[in-house]
């Protein structure tokens, strides 16, 4: 049976150290108040909450992984799948939060509103992907629009409504014609069937036929009659708008397709008509509807697998902004650069000059953290600007005075404010954003749209082989990357729109500027090279979506390159080489699955933005808090980590005189008592004593194998030098005396162990869960203190930390404190690690009194790993009686 533990010293040795001092010390401990249900029920309830939390955690992670697997594009599913699986994960997350608060006595109540907020975001995305049974009005004021109406107002309008009505950021005022208006126009003009018949015959690879089919489709829409009820609804909304603004505005009519500005950008594919007087509203409305059948839009729809999907168009009608300046902001570098940097292009006048790449705009790089700041400025030559025509429809171009052409279009404060808006939009929409903006004549910033940003990274960042330039002359060596990659092919220069009909498959498209009209052949191009343009233009966005290697702003491509000339474009290194450079030409990238491009997949991706990303990765950081949880995965990570912490501290809270303690019969001086929560002991768990053979707890059995390993000694003298002895005596005289015979307590169940040992001047606590479910498995170990001085205790901590790190634990050593964690290993390996931790605790006893030299630490580490558990031949110490 266990005697009083001496942590390696006999009782007589202890008396030599402290003599009669022990007799005058008060060992009485203040009893802890018993919970109303009693300590045994208290522990059992905590343990059950912990098990329920682990089960919910695994259930959530399993469904998360299965939903993510669907994004590969190889599975068919419907909205009910997204809805039901999201609900399963939410219910599991709710259980996590409830059980964590049960474990922590409601210290984590802040998680409840965080969870509810994420739930609302998920529900909004799911609702946006479905049609409700409610009748949607033909026309809605923008003040009533958000993402819940996605299928009625399209992606662009839904996002603008979110910006205006949820974030309360500045946008133009206006109203929206819903998809109900579109369907009414088609129904009253009997167009649905006729349009469908033509769409069935669209052939995107025959440009001449494509142009004819596009013309027929657009003519049918443009000839449509406007239903009287739609005319009345628009007139009513315009009067309300004029009343709010106190003047009768010209309008900007902006397309908003069902799938536009979601996972698919449709950049530049549909029409925006600016500066429209209300008297010309409906002819221009029909132009916007007809734009979904433009040649380039039909190609885009075909390439994205949507050509035969039900098409519908909503149109946003905004008060025209007479812009002093405008531009585009990307909240991260779209080419895979610095994640904490934003890029921004701006020019004088209205936005088309920037997004169409008609000039070289001002280019800025903004830093995000710790605060918004301007990192780089590059002012462009802006000789022209687009302005609203006076007293008539449309835009006009005017020359910029020479003194202003190289002046910045935006002030420093405007740039910083745009950066702040960008961070807000990225946070709200759950990912990097492509944002269009304008600054009106009064200097007010207005946001015009925000959509997900397509990101790409270089395919080959390695240095160029030195022999390449010698064999292949470099024709172009500068510009900006619009899409990374390497490709080769014959040059085909587009000088006028008629050239598009002759564009051959596999050719390199070379042009003067980045017009979105070139989207009609972009799917056939091997690469793209243009003289003027930016990575923020519509054509650049399309190039990234189609993964076409592209260089823009090369200044001289149309002058240097010749039609039919074979070239290799290395966008990764800003080079165009003469001839085919086989050493650079990468294997062709596989196109994404067509299924992965469909709207149902887009909905799944949007929903998963609030479920699967993990932002909380390091529990030691200050942001590991409920408020920092942005997704359900964050909540699961936080709850799991905090649950382990709560269980780790459980042994400290137990009123030991008020629970059934079973003492372990052993010759090892640990005075070890067990509390069995169920399944931890074979036989009578209320017996006074049990033998080690009766331990049924998987982690306790593994730990005990290490503690009782034959080569490990828990008793007897150790070789201690005089300075080590002096440090012990000094501490005994200056600090409170420890209770050398304090009990070691282990709270156990079949899969769980909470081991709490206070021996002499140090304590060790260990928390573990081991089962067949690998995701549940973990070990948390904590060791602190010692009898020697701080320096020697620190050396022992370094020894423990180094050994645990070699055993694959994640380790932190601070002074004499060691904290180590291991998780998600298979059961056999977890048992093996616990066995070794048991051996390590025995070997480490009183080694703080021996470690006089920091160089000794490495020796002890290697000795332990070599199974020299008695440290035969240890350096620098002499036996002392």
Q: What is the pLDDT of residues 720-757, one digit of tens each?
A: 554 444 444 444 444 444 443 456 888 888 999 989 88
User: In this predicted structure, what is the pLDDT of residue 654?
Assistant: 63
CB-based contact 204:456 (threshold 8 Å): no
User: In this predicted structure, what is the pLDDT of residue 228?
Assistant: 95
CB-based contact 703:71 (threshold 8 Å): no
DSSP 336: S
Provide the residue ranges of all domains of the chain, joining segments of one domain with +. Answer: 145-452, 467-578, 649-865
State the number of CA atoms in the 13 A half-sphere of 784 facing the CB: 9
pLDDT surpassing 90 at residue 562:
yes
DSSP 467: H
User: What is the SS3 assignment for 489?
Assistant: strand
Task: Summarize pLDDT for 83-129 with one digit per residue, the tens.
Answer: 888 999 999 999 999 999 998 889 999 999 999 999 988 988 887 65
Reference 159, options 539, 606, 535, 631; nearest CA is 606
Q: How confident is the model at residue 421 (pLDDT cuts 50, 70, 90)?
A: very high
pLDDT surpassing 50 at residue 71:
yes
Structure tokens at 657: 């005189």
Mean pLDDT along residues 124-149: 80
User: What is the SS3 assignment for 146?
Assistant: coil
C-alpha dihedral, 297 to 299 to 304 to 308, nearest 10°: 80
The CB density around residue 371, as the number of other CB atoms within 10 Å, is 9
* Ordered strands of the 744-748 beta sheet: 689-690, 662-664, 672-676, 744-748, 752-759, 762-769, 778-785, 817-823, 810-814
Instruction: Find out whether the peptide bond into 68 is cis, omega within 30 degrees of 0.
Output: no
State the number of CA atoms in the 13 A half-sphere of 704 facing the CB: 25
pLDDT surpassing 90 at residue 825:
no
User: In this predicted structure, what is the pLDDT of residue 308?
Assistant: 46
Helices 79-103 + 632-648 axis angle, to 10: 20
User: In this predicted structure, what is the pLDDT of residue 225?
Assistant: 96
Residue of 742 and 847 predicted with greater confidence: 847
Q: How confident is the model at residue 138 (pLDDT cuts 50, 70, 90)?
A: very high
Q: Find all residues with CB under 8 Å of 637, minimum gap 6, and list them.
A: 614, 616, 617
pLDDT surpassing 60 at residue 550:
yes
Structure tokens at 622: 């200050």
User: In this predicted structure, what is the pLDDT of residue 54?
Assistant: 85
Helices 722-734 + 11-18 axis angle, to 10: 70
CATH 3.40.50.2000 for domain 145-452: no
C-alpha dihedral, 483 to 487 to 488 to 489, nearest 10°: -60
User: In this predicted structure, what is the pLDDT of residue 6?
Assistant: 33
User: In this predicted structure, what is the pLDDT of residue 761?
Assistant: 61
**pLDDT cut 70: percent of the chain above it:** 79
pLDDT surpassing 60 at residue 300:
yes
Question: CA of 545: how far to CAs of 163, 258, 523, 535, 761, in Å?
Answer: 25, 18, 10, 13, 64
* Ordered strands of the 480-483 beta sheet: 474-476, 575-578, 566-570, 486-494, 508-513, 527-532, 550-552, 480-483
**Helical segments of 547-609, H only:** 557-560, 599-608
Q: Write out the E strands in 504-626.
A: 508-513, 527-532, 550-552, 566-570, 575-578
CB-based contact 5:744 (threshold 8 Å): yes
Structure tokens at 314: 């909503």
| Helix (DSSP H) and strand (DSSP E) numbers for the chain | 26, 30
Q: Find all residues with CB under 8 Å of 729, minimum gap 6, and list them.
A: 17
Choice among 73-82, 249-258, 282-291, 786-795 with the minimum mean pLDDT: 73-82
Task: Write b or e for each residue in 646-664: b if 16 or more Cβ atoms lie within 10 A of its Cβ, otherwise e.
Answer: bbbebbeebebebbebbbb
User: In this predicted structure, what is the pLDDT of residue 202?
Assistant: 78
Query: What is the Cα–Cα distance from 807 to 832, expressed in whole angstroms?
Result: 10
What are the backbone angles phi and psi of residue 64, rounded to the nearest 5°? -55, -45
- CA torsion through residues 824, 826, 832, 838, sign: positive
User: In this predicted structure, what is the pLDDT of residue 522?
Assistant: 84
User: In this predicted structure, what is the pLDDT of residue 29?
Assistant: 38
> Please, what is the average pLDDT of the chain?
81
Mean pLDDT along residues 544-557: 84
pLDDT surpassing 60 at residue 655:
no
Task: Summarize pLDDT for 373-406 with one digit per residue, the tens.
Answer: 999 999 988 888 888 877 677 788 888 898 988 8
Residue 822 belongs to what H/E stretch?
A: strand 817-823
Please give the span between the terminal C-alpha atoms of the chain, in angstroms, as a whole number.
26
User: In this predicted structure, what is the pLDDT of residue 234?
Assistant: 96
Task: Summarize pLDDT for 340-375 with one digit per residue, the tens.
Answer: 899 999 999 887 766 565 677 899 999 988 889 999
Q: How confident is the model at residue 15 (pLDDT cuts 50, 70, 90)?
A: very low
CB-based contact 365:375 (threshold 8 Å): yes
Task: Summarize pLDDT for 667-683 with one digit per residue, the tens.
Answer: 888 888 888 888 899 87
Query: What is the Cα–Cα distance from 849 to 786, expressed in whole angstroms?
Result: 8
Structure tokens at 51: 């098990």
pLDDT surpassing 90 at residue 142:
yes
Q: What is the CATH number of domain 467-578?
A: 3.50.30.10
Q: How confident is the model at residue 130 (pLDDT cuts 50, 70, 90)?
A: low
Task: Summarize pLDDT for 767-810 with one digit per residue, the tens.
Answer: 899 999 877 888 989 888 776 777 888 888 999 999 998 988 88
CB-based contact 491:596 (threshold 8 Å): no
Residue 796 belongs to what H/E stretch?
A: helix 790-806
Mean pLDDT along residues 536-560: 80
Task: Summarize pLDDT for 694-725 with one digit per residue, the tens.
Answer: 999 999 999 999 999 988 887 655 555 544 44
Task: Summarize pLDDT for 490-523 with one digit per residue, the tens.
Answer: 999 998 878 888 899 899 999 987 776 787 788 8
CB-based contact 517:500 (threshold 8 Å): yes
User: In this predicted structure, what is the pLDDT of residue 8?
Assistant: 38
């Amino acid at each position: 049976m266990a005697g009083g533990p001496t942590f390696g010293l006999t009782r007589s040795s202890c008396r030599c150290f402290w003599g009669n001092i022990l007799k005058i010390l008060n060992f009485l401990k203040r009893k802890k108040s018993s919970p109303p249900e009693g300590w045994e029920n208290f522990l059992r309830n905590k343990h059950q909450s912990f098990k329920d939390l682990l089960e919910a955690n695994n259930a959530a992670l399993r469904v998360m992984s299965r939903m993510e697997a669907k994004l590969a594009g190889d599975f068919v599913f419907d909205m009910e799948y997204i809805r039901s699986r999201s609900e399963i994960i939410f219910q599991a997350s709710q259980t996590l939060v409830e059980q964590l608060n049960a474990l922590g006595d409601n210290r984590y109540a802040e998680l409840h509103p965080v969870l509810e907020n994420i739930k609302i975001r998920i529900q909004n995305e799911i609702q946006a992907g479905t049609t409700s049974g409610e009748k949607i009005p033909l026309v809605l004021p923008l003040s009533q629009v958000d993402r819940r109406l996605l299928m009625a107002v399209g992606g662009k309008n839904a996002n603008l409504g979110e910006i205006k009505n949820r974030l309360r950021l500045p946008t133009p005022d206006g109203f929206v014609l819903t998809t109900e208006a579109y369907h009414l126009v088609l129904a009253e003009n009997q167009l649905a069937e006729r349009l469908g018949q033509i769409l069935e015959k669209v052939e995107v690879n025959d440009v001449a036929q494509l142009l004819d089919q596009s013309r027929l489709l657009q003519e049918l829409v443009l000839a449509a009659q406007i239903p009287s009820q739609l005319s009345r609804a628009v007139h009513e909304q315009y009067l309300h708008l004029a009343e709010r603004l106190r003047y009768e505005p010209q309008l900007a009519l902006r397309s908003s397709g069902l799938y536009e500005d979601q996972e698919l950008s449709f950049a530049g594919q549909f029409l925006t008509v600016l500066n429209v007087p209300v008297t010309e509203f409906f002819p221009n409305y029909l132009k916007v509807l007809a734009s979904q059948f433009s040649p380039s839009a039909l190609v885009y729809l075909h390439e994205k697998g949507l050509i035969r999907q039900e098409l519908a168009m909503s149109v946003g009608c905004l008060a025209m902004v007479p812009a002093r300046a405008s531009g585009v902001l990307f909240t991260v570098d779209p080419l895979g650069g610095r994640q904490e940097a934003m890029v921004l292009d701006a020019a004088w006048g209205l936005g088309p000059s920037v997004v169409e790449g008609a000039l070289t705009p001002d280019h800025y790089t903004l830093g995000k953290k710790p605060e918004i700041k301007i990192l780089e400025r590059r002012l462009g030559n802006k000789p022209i600007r687009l302005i609203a025509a006076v007293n008539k429809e449309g835009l006009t171009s005017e020359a910029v005075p020479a003194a202003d052409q190289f002046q910045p279009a935006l002030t420093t404060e405007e740039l910083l404010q745009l950066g702040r808006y960008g961070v807000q939009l990225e946070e709200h929409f759950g990912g990097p954003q492509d944002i269009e903006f304008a600054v009106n004549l009064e200097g007010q910033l207005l946001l015009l749209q925000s959509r997900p940003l397509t990101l790409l990274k270089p395919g080959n960042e390695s240095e160029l082989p030195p022999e390449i330039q010698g064999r292949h002359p470099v024709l172009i060596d500068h510009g900006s990357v619009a899409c990374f990659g390497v490709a080769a092919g014959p040059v085909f220069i587009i000088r006028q729109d008629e050239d598009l009909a002759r564009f051959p498959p596999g050719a390199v498209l070379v042009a003067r500027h980045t017009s979105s009209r070139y989207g009609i052949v972009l799917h056939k191009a091997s690469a793209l090279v243009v003289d003027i343009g930016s990575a923020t233009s519509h054509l650049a966005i399309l190039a990234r979506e189609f993964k076409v290697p592209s260089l823009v702003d090369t200044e001289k491509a149309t002058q240097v390159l010749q039609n039919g000339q074979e070239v290799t474009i290395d966008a990764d290194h800003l080079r165009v080489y003469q001839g085919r450079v086989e050493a650079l030409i990468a294997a062709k990238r596989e196109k994404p699955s067509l299924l992965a491009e469909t709207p149902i997949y887009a909905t799944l991706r949007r929903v998963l933005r609030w479920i699967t990303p993990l932002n909380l990765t390091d529990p030691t950081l200050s942001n590991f808090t409920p408020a920092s949880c942005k997704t359900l995965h964050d909540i699961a990570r936080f709850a799991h980590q905090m649950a382990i912490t709560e269980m780790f501290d459980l042994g400290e809270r137990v009123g030991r005189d008020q629970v059934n303690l079973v003492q372990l019969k052993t010759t090892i001086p640990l005075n070890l008592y067990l509390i069995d929560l169920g399944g931890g002991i074979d036989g009578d768990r209320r017996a006074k004593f049990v033998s080690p053979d009766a331990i049924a707890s998987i982690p306790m059995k593994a730990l005990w194998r290490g503690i009782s390993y034959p080569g490990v000694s828990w008793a007897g003298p150790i070789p201690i030098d005089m300075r080590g002895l002096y440090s012990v005596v000094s501490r005994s005289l200056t600090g409170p005396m420890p209770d050398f015979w304090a009990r070691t307590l282990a709270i156990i169940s079949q899969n769980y162990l909470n081991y709490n040992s206070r021996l002499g001047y140090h304590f060790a606590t260990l928390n573990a869960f081991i089962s067949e479910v690998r995701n549940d498995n973990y070990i948390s170990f904590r060791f602190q203190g010692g009898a020697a001085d701080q320096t020697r205790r620190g050396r022992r901590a370094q020894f423990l930390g180094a050994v645990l790190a070699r055993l694959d634990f994640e380790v932190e050593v601070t002074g004499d404190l060691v904290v180590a964690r291991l998780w998600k290993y298979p059961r056999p390996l977890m048992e093996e690690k616990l066995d070794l931790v048991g051996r390590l605790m025995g070997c480490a006893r009183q080694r703080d009194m021996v470690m006089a030299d920091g160089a000794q630490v490495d020796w002890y580490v290697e000795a332990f790993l070599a199974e020299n558990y008695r440290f035969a031949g240890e350096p620098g110490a002499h036996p002392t009686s």
